[in-house]
Amino acid sequence: MKLSREVIHTEDKRKLQDISGEEILSCYQCGKCSAGCAMTSAMDLLPHQVIRLLQLGQVQEALDSKTIWVCASCLACSARCPRGMSLANVMESLRSTFLRPGDRCLNPAEIPYELLEIVPEQALVAAFRKYT
Amino acid sequence: MKTGVFICHCGLNIGGVVDIPKVLEDLSGYDSLGYVTDYRYMCSDPGQQLIKDAIRDKGLTGVVVAACSPAMHESTFRKTAEAAGLNPFRCEMANIREQCSWPHRGEPEKATQKALEIIKASAEKVRKNQELSSLSIPVTRQALVIGAGIAGMQAALDIADAGYRVSLVDRLPYIGGHMAQLSETFPTLDCSQCILTPKSSEVGSHPNIDLFTNSEIHSISGYVGNFDVTIRRKAAYVNWDVCNGCGLCMEKCPVKTDSDFELGLAKTKAISIAFPQAVPNRPVINSEVCRHFTQGKCGVCEKVCPVGAIDFKEEDTFIDRKVGAVVVATGYDLHPKTKVGEYGYGVAKDVIDGLEFERLNSASGPTQGEIRRPSDGKIPKEVVFIQCVGSRDQENGYPYCSKICCMYTAKHARLYKHKVPDGQPYVFYMDIRAGGKGYEEFVQRATEEEGVLYLRGRVSRVFEEDGKTVVFGVDTLSNKKVEIHADMVVLATAIVPARGQTELARLLKISTDEWGFLSEAHPKLRPVESLTRGIYIAGCAQAPKDIPDSVTQAGSAAAKVLALFSSDTLSHTPEVAVVDEELCTGCGMCIDVCAYDARTLDARRSLAVVNEVLCEGCGACQVACPSGATCQRNMDTAQVMSMIDAVI
């Protein structure tokens, strides 16, 4: 990874900070968010690693990770962060950045009928909230 | 003769292992003991009262306190005995804690037997103890402070303010040490000069301070209260008493040379004052480059000097001083970057160390405080700071942490950002150690508010390529290798003892650790005393530390000196070596074994003599003496033999 001013300070990163309202550099990588996250078993990157990528300007790599979709927005990380950063806000900003082009949203017509039969309604509503 | 034995339980420390009732029972049948008793805490007030009452009521002529180590409480109980009218040297400790109950916790029966034997042996010793009185040593109430950095200046001022004369010696022509080179200081970012120069001028004009700059310690002898020092004032080739510091000589001098003060980042003249605010504000001729000395001609300075102060014939002068105490505050140097191969051996021009960055950032420095890189004077836009260069690296440097680098690197990165707002500072670190008032907040401000990017990992290689300085590092937080094409690299090189400190320590007969830092008498309880009485230590000479800690330690060392000066005389234990002149053959074996230089040969009488003040009563000479002429007071051969008899 080559680092330079251009790599670290990208327009995408600035937008993410605007959307989330969080100062990414305030994170000191203690890992408390990851330590308390209930969903880490299904994540490819731990929550603090996502933040680290953003600090280094690696926005695309963060957008490509499964973690931002596995995040259940339970807000445990936000409640416990010693630096007062809301990771849930950052995750949400990453998801909305990904979905912003408009062609990546959840399309109800594409959900298989068999799946609809077994998925709880609450999960379906949550999915629409997260993926649209 | 009636000896009393007082057995302390020390709570469960002794009482939980040694069967004290059994010891009491066994001792009751031991002759020559006048009184035997026990108590839970003998060092407490009621415990001490017990001893006093017994001395008076039972008419005891000797006391054995079976308790902890004499290092812990010997003086306590000797004072107790003295308060009851007994000669304090007829009171002995029998150490049944450190030498019995603690190491033999698992075998109480054997511990009980051993305690009994230790007590019996001590009782035998006390029986033959002479009544002694402490030796009295006169004190010269003047101090010597070696090193005039912030620590030495502070110690000198504190002692001088209390009304005692201080000789302050520094090998450089000016005072202030490394602090004079710093730009701004953490955590408040006040300018170093602004807080240092008022102190320097106070030192320079203090009626109780004799300033010897451009000087070194030539020799020192003696002991606490009575040191004889010879200071060598190196020839400056300028009569400082006549010179008025006008600076005309420097202006006209035709020889340019690298400035040591500016660490080679700027030139100075062969005759120069290190920096404009220097105290004393007097020039020195560098005889290694001056044309008069190298080629035997020139002499421009001599011609232009309006007061005739130039003196090419000046020689080193030697000044004798008698002092009672010495404070060593010789400071530090940086581990040379030329020794760090992977970062370019100091060859790459834009790889500088922390002190060089301080000069670049200083308003009075070579760039007037603009951050411009050394190679081409351009303003660097990408700057990499590397911490732990030589520190915490036992294979290629030193195992210790240099303590101040985390803070000064954060400071450097912030100051850089203040001056180059569109620049990007990177800091490679292993851990951030920011323990101190306002320190952690200072570092957090660097990351959160000033955009300094901290990368956790060591840098493996630094090299020049196409006008850039390429840095190969790693960020262990993201598990990515990192490559930065930087415009300038700043190395936080390890703090090492100042050049020549080991030699000075040898001269003063004080010890150093394996890296050359001065050893304190106790790492927690006696942090400013050396193991040699009357010699105190302060500042980075002892270990890496920042300005607040150096000032604190200097004040503490000064307080120790003032305590020493609080009376005309000092007392010294009389339990030292004595020589039987009838038996001594003058062979000198005692002189070789003495670790304290307390033994000398009286050649005229062919006798070995003892300097009682220097003698620490270790007993080495008593063992070495082939004719049995030397023994220690209250530990003579007859006493030792009867102690052995009591045990076997």
Instruction: Assign B525 a pLDDT band (cuts: 50, 70, 90).
Output: confident
Does B178 score more than 90 pLDDT?
Answer: yes
Task: Say whether both A74 and A24 belong to one domain.
Answer: yes
Write the pLDDT tens digit of every residue in B415-462: 999 999 999 999 999 999 999 999 999 999 999 999 999 999 999 999
Task: Say whether both A64 and A110 belong to one domain.
Answer: no
Task: Say whether both A69 and A94 belong to one domain.
Answer: yes
Which of B424, B477, B483 is nearest residue A29 as measured by Cβ atoms?
B477
At B235 the pLDDT is 97
Write the pLDDT tens digit of every residue in B137-170: 999 999 999 999 999 999 999 999 999 999 999 9
Structure tokens at B354: 């922390």
Does B501 score more than 90 pLDDT?
Answer: yes
Looking at the complex, report in whole angstroms how far the Cα of residue A119 sits from the nearest Cα belonging to chain B: 36
At A116 the pLDDT is 86
3-state SS track over chain A: CEECHHHHCCHHHHHHHHHHCCCHHHCCCCCHHHHHCCCHHHCCCCHHHHHHHHHCCCHHHHHCCCHHHHCCCCCHHHHHCCCCCCHHHHHHHHHHHHHCCCCCCCCHHHCCHHHHHHCCHHHHHHHHHHHC
Task: Say whether both A25 and A84 belong to one domain.
Answer: yes
At A101 the pLDDT is 83
Residues of A in contact with B417 (CB under 8 A): none
Does B552 score more than 90 pLDDT?
Answer: yes
At B629 the pLDDT is 94
pLDDT > 90 fraction of chain A, expressed in percent and rounded: 73
Cα–Cα distance list, B468 to A2, B354, B385 (Å): 14, 20, 15
Does B31 score more than 90 pLDDT?
Answer: no
d(CA B173, CA B212) in angstroms, rounded, equals 9
At B628 the pLDDT is 92
At B12 the pLDDT is 95
Q: How many CB atoms lie within 10 A of CB B422?
A: 9
d(CA B94, CA B566) in angstroms, rounded, equals 34
Does A130 score more than 80 pLDDT?
Answer: no
What's the CATH number where A22 sits? 1.10.1060.10
Instruction: Assign B596 a pLDDT band (cuts: 50, 70, 90).
Output: confident
Residues of B in contact with A25 (CB under 8 A): 447-448, 451, 453
Least confident of A125-129, B337-341, B526-530: A125-129
Write the pLDDT tens digit of every residue in B249-268: 999 999 999 999 999 999 99
pTM: 0.85
Write the pLDDT tens digit of every residue in B70-79: 988 999 999 9
Q: Is A18 on the interface with B (CB under 8 A)?
A: no
Task: Say whether both A43 and A77 belong to one domain.
Answer: yes
Least confident of B244-248, B346-350, B396-400: B346-350
User: Which residue ranges form the domains of chain B, and what is each CATH number?
Assistant: 3-127 (3.40.50), 142-234+316-331+498-564 (3.50.50.60), 248-304 (no CATH), 333-496 (3.50.50.60), 576-632 (3.30.70.20)
Average pLDDT estimate for B347-366: 95
At A110 the pLDDT is 86
At B407 the pLDDT is 98
Task: Say whether both A75 and A128 belong to one domain.
Answer: no
Is the CB of A4 less than 8 angstroms away from the CB of B475? no
Average pLDDT estimate for B618-638: 93
At A119 the pLDDT is 87
Instruction: Assign A105 a pLDDT band (cuts: 50, 70, 90).
Output: confident
Task: Say whether both A64 and A40 belong to one domain.
Answer: yes
At B63 the pLDDT is 97
Which of A1, A5, A8 is nearest residue B481 as measured by Cβ atoms?
A1
Task: Say whether both A88 and A115 belong to one domain.
Answer: no
Q: Is A23 on the interface with B (CB under 8 A)?
A: yes
Backbone angles phi, psi at B7, to 5 degrees: -100, 125
Is the CB of A2 less than 8 angstroms away from the CB of B475? no
Instruction: Assign A126 a pLDDT band (cuts: 50, 70, 90).
Output: confident
Write the pLDDT tens digit of every residue in B306-330: 999 999 999 999 999 999 999 999 9
Instruction: Assign A106 a pLDDT band (cuts: 50, 70, 90).
Output: confident
Write the pLDDT tens digit of every residue in B181-194: 999 999 999 999 99
Q: How many CB atoms lie within 10 A of CB B376?
A: 10
Cα–Cα distance list, B461 to A99, B236, B390, B488, B527 (Å): 41, 43, 14, 14, 39
Is the CB of B451 less than 8 angstroms away from the CB of A25? yes
Higher pLDDT, B351 or B33: B351
Neighbour-count burial for A14-27, b at 16+ CB within 10 Å, e otherwise: eebbebbebebbbb
Residues of B in contact with A9 (CB under 8 A): 424
Contact at 8 Å (CB) between A98 and A68? yes
Average pLDDT, chain B: 95
At B399 the pLDDT is 97
Which of A3, A23, A29 is nearest residue B484 as measured by Cβ atoms?
A3
Task: Say whether both A94 and A127 belong to one domain.
Answer: no
Which of A5, A28, A58 is nearest residue B382 as measured by Cβ atoms?
A5
Task: Say whether both A23 and A38 belong to one domain.
Answer: yes
Q: Which three-class secondary structure state does DSSP give residue B301?
A: helix
Residue B532 burial (CB < 10 Å; 0-12/13-18/19+)? Answer: middle
DSSP type of residue B458: -
Average pLDDT estimate for A53-74: 95
DSSP type of residue B335: P
Task: Say whether both A65 and A17 belong to one domain.
Answer: yes
pLDDT > 70 fraction of chain A, expressed in percent and rounded: 100
Number of domains forming the structure of chain A: 2
Position B550, amino acid: S
Domain range enclosing A115: 104-132
At B33 the pLDDT is 83
Q: Which of B415, B370, B383 is nearest to B484 (CA)?
A: B383
Is the CB of A28 less than 8 angstroms away from the CB of B475? no
At A60 the pLDDT is 95
Average pLDDT estimate for B575-604: 92
The chain B residues in contact with chain A (CB within 8 A) are: 381-382, 422-424, 426, 444, 447-448, 451, 453, 455-456, 475, 477-478, 480-485
The beta-strand segments (E) located in B80-156 are 91-95, 135-138, 142-146
Q: How many CB contacts within 8 angstroms connect chain A with chain B? A: 52
Q: Maximum distance among all alpha carbons in chain B?
A: 96
Average pLDDT estimate for B82-88: 96
At A125 the pLDDT is 85
Does A124 score more than 90 pLDDT?
Answer: no
At B28 the pLDDT is 86
Task: Say whether both A74 and A108 belong to one domain.
Answer: no
